[in-house]
């Protein structure tokens, strides 16, 4: 059985929506995040009277980026702590942040609040923004191809691991299951009995294109180059293959030298199909492109699977088992 940290990582990586937009405050720091489309974000870190602009990319349940101060760029990372809180870390220093402003009021026209339901009401398949959850009547929970244990106490879902439990607030209203609270809450929709797992797109029969469930996930490439004159260039590319046959792509590159710097971003979306040896992207703006597909494991982090498209390797950003 997995440990509690991996159970929580599985939940975050599988279902977390790429929505970091909002404002958070700490003892002497305010973080404001705005979405730029896809997994790209920008915003301002306000601290000690300074406004420090930043750009960032969402990847696997955390946000990685760089901010500018006095003409220099510095790295930082943001991760979720639960209950709407964030932790911002830069060069070993961590700041705990809470959502700024009062809680959002409930819509009085939305009807009475949903009544928490017993565990039996969760049994079945549920489709999240990035994957499937399967609650078994025997207390098993299938996430990202891994099996865990679960229990329900009132309005709390307990994800059970060998070193403890991870409590997750839930609310069940008809065929909609809400997990978590506040800006980080995620919503899952119950799939009808017999519905295709992961949406309406079928798995590819031999020799034909379709959705291959093992490819569903977020895959990323990142490179950093440093020059002897103090300049540097970093680039990142990520794409998300959704189980319903849609995809999103985002890329960002940053370059700077003693005389200045520049940032560029790109975004694309459309539908995808694959065979065992090719993957085809049907872009809304660029038309159809087919890439040669190989499945490999990372040469050093051997437990991390990769998709190699026309020779370029993209490593999983989600918790996934290595290719066998």
Q: Per residue in 71-85, pLDDT tens?
A: 888 999 988 776 677
* Cβ-count burial 175-185 (b if 16+ within 10 Å, e if not): eebebbeebbe
Same domain? 182 vs 223 = no
Same domain? 61 vs 154 = no
Domain enclosing residue 186, as ranges: 108-190
pLDDT at 31: 92
Task: Show which of 155, 190, 225 is a domain's final residue.
Answer: 190
Q: Is residue 35 part of a domain?
A: yes
Q: Is residue 324 part of a domain?
A: no
CATH of the domain at 171: 2.40.128.290
Q: Is residue 114 part of a domain?
A: yes
Q: Is residue 195 part of a domain?
A: no
Q: Is residue 138 part of a domain?
A: yes
Q: Are 233 and 225 in contact (CB under 8 A)?
A: yes
CATH of the domain at 229: 2.40.128
Q: Are 82 and 168 in contact (CB under 8 A)?
A: no
Percent of the chain with pLDDT over 70: 70
Same domain? 135 vs 64 = no
pLDDT tens by residue, the chain, 324 residues? 455 555 555 555 444 444 677 888 888 889 998 887 777 888 999 988 888 999 988 775 678 899 988 888 899 998 877 667 788 988 888 888 888 755 455 566 655 544 333 356 788 888 766 566 788 888 887 765 566 788 887 788 877 766 566 777 888 888 888 887 766 677 888 876 544 444 434 343 434 478 888 899 999 988 765 544 556 667 788 999 988 889 999 988 776 666 667 777 888 899 999 998 999 999 988 888 899 999 998 887 778 899 999 888 899 988 888 888
Same domain? 116 vs 95 = no
Same domain? 93 vs 121 = no
Q: Is residue 205 part of a domain?
A: no
pLDDT at 295: 92
Going by C-alpha positions, the residue among 314, 161, 183 that lies closest to residue 236 is 314
Going by C-alpha positions, the residue among 245, 309, 313 that lies closest to residue 278 is 309
* Counted domains in the chain: 3
Q: What is the three-class DSSP state of 108?
A: helix
Task: Show which of 75, 99, 123 is a domain's final residue.
Answer: 99
Q: Is residue 323 part of a domain?
A: no
Same domain? 162 vs 221 = no
């Amino acid at each position: 059985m997995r440990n509690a940290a991996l159970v929580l990582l599985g939940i975050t990586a599988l279902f977390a929506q790429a929505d970091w937009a909002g404002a958070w405050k700490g003892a002497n720091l305010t973080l404001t995040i705005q979405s730029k489309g896809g997994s790209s974000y920008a915003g301002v870190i306000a601290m000690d009277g300074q406004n420090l602009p930043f750009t960032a990319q969402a990847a696997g349940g955390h946000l990685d980026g760089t901010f500018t101060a006095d003409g220099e760029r510095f790295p930082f990372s943001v991760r979720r702590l639960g209950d709407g809180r964030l932790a911002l870390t830069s060069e070993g220093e961590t700041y705990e942040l809470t959502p700024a402003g009062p809680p959002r009021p409930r819509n009085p026209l939305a009807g009475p609040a949903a009544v928490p339901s017993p565990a039996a009401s969760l049994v079945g398949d549920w489709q999240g923004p990035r994957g499937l959850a399967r609650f078994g009547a025997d207390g098993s929970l299938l996430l990202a191809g891994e099996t865990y244990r679960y229990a329900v106490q009132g309005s709390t879902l307990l994800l059970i691991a060998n070193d403890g439990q991870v409590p997750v607030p839930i609310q069940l209203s008809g065929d909609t299951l809400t997990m978590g609270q506040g800006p980080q809450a995620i919503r899952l929709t119950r799939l009808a009995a017999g519905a295709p797992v992961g949406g309406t797109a079928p798995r590819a029969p031999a020799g034909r294109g379709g959705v291959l469930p093992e490819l569903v996930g977020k895959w990323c490439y990142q490179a950093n180059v440093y020059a002897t004159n103090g300049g540097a260039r970093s680039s990142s590319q990520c794409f998300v293959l959704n189980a319903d046959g849609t995809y999103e792509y985002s890329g960002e590159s940053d370059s700077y030298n003693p005389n200045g710097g520049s940032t560029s971003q790109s975004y694309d979306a459309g539908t995808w199909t694959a065979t065992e040896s090719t993957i085809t992207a049907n872009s809304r703006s660029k038309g159809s492109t087919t890439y040669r597909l190989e499945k490999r494991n990372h040469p050093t982090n051997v437990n991390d699977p990769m998709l190699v498209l026309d020779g370029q390797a993209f490593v999983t950003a989600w918790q996934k088992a290595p290719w066998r």
